Structure 1
């Protein structure tokens, strides 16, 4: 079916969300070290020596990692199609600040940091060069809007020093 012959799309249920991401990695233990050791996701299950599932808050899995077709492989070269990044939504600005502290403590370098008006985001690469976004959404009442009321996202510099001044999140 060509794009011009497609019917007008219908909306899906507004509570539909992305449930998890499943990544091909070259070294399972190294990937677990990043997603569990640095970001703090808990291992919920291992599937032999080739896969692991990780989550937050008791969920079955937010992240699947496997080496089934990628053991020892290299990342795709720049300029090719594939995953741009996986985004992890933190509940508060304090939780995002805590994530930044963890990333710095583990020796990872950010590839970017932005205030999008609706959210604040940190960008980095995992050990397999998969893009990772860590972000929190600002309260909807604070989102920038144009004169017609449409969301008017921006891409301005995020003040990382200000973010790091956030107190530690409360359990």
Structure 2
């Protein structure tokens, strides 16, 4: 192993592609509640969604999963998809849309480096909606290493800053 990073620092995870049981139900969540826009549709079996005109951030398909069930607890698979928002007001706006839709939250946390809201999509996939703090504000220990935490996120304050 080398001390030199193997990946360029600009490397990002570009999109997630999810198997869903019902495409319209998944679209009602990802487009209707979260606000992603359809960029391309493949009949009644697949759709690609994005924010800001990117080719796609999320792919949804029923190719192997139409009418399927979520994985049972205790099995391996995706823990959650994390969707990064540019700032606190836009994260607050997403929270408002979720609450207005009556969609249940699973949790909300302040991690020091970020603030996050947790929920499940209609197929039981974990979804994290979050915003990062500037790196200069990240908590660090005496040696300068990251010291992430899991603290309470004040949802009422976040809602008051909603875009």
TM-score, L = length of structure 2: 0.96
Structure number with greater Rg is: 1
Shift of 1:140: 1.3
Shift of 1:162: 1.2
State yes or no: 1:128 paired with 2:119: no
* Counterparts of 2:41 and 2:157, CA distance in 1: 38
Long gaps (5+) in structure 2:
none
State yes or no: 1:116 paired with 2:111: yes
Partner SS state of residue 102, structure 1: helix
Q: Give deviations 1:112-164, integer Å, cap 9, x for gaps.
A: 10000000000000000000000000111111000011111000111111111
TM-score, L = length of structure 1: 0.92
Long gaps (5+) in structure 1:
1-7
Partner SS state of residue 46, structure 1: strand
Number of residue pairs matched? 161
Q: Which residue of 2 aligns with 1:3?
A: none
* Counterparts of 1:162 and 1:141, CA distance in 2: 22
Pair 167,29 (structure 1): closer, same or farther in 2 beyond 3 Å: closer
Partner SS state of residue 111, structure 1: strand
Q: Which residue of 2 aligns with 1:98?
A: 93
State yes or no: 1:64 paired with 2:59: yes
Partner SS state of residue 151, structure 1: coil
Match of 2:26 among 22, 26, 31: 31
